[in-house]
Amino acid sequence: MAGQALRRLMAEYKQLTLNPPEGIVAGPVNEENFFEWEALITGPEGTCYENGVFPAKLSFPSDYPLSPPKMQFTCEMFHPNVYPDGRVCISILHAPGDDPMGYESSSERWSPVQSVEKILLSVVSILAEPNAESGANVDAAKMWRDDPEQFKKIAHHLVRKTLNLPSPSD
């Protein structure tokens, strides 16, 4: 099974290298292990994350693409769909099949037709439009809904931090 996963990951890496999505760079940490990737995601234009460069890691299971990878930001991130420890919580990364909570349809969840590129584009999409109804970070989801100006201030601070720039208040 790991051989099939390796071939698939190598093919996806080649595709990402030949035709990288705008604002995304991703690939294996090293060529010895295609099951651990790192990614840099640029905050989408026109959002409170604009110009930020957010590093993340993806860990692929040996039965990929039957099971989804896990994705985690490796920088500080304040976002409704990102757990405080950086783990990304989006439907496409949830195991295939029916949602035990009944929130997601099986078509929204992981399936082998998904790809690393689709995952990364989904993450860019949630940076642009968080889903506060499915909050992995309850504080961020509440602030996104109730105090968007404060949320934007925190996001701008994180953007400056990812660029090693001091915040205006520093």
Of 26, 82, 89, 155, which one is the catalytic site residue? Answer: 89
H or E element at residue 28: strand 24-30
Cα(21)–Cα(59) distance, integer angstroms:
20
Q: Within 10 Å of residue 84's Cβ, how many Cβ atoms?
A: 13
Q: Within 10 Å of residue 48's Cβ, how many Cβ atoms?
A: 23
Nearest to 121 by CA among 30, 2, 50, 23: 23
Cα(22)–Cα(154) distance, integer angstroms:
25
- Kindly state the tokens that stand for 45: 């234009």
Which one-letter DSSP state was computed for residue 74?
S
Q: Could you confirm whether 75 is annotated as catalytic? A: no
- Kindly state the tokens that stand for 105: 């349809």
Quote the longest CA-to-CA distance of the chain: 52
Catalytic residues: 89
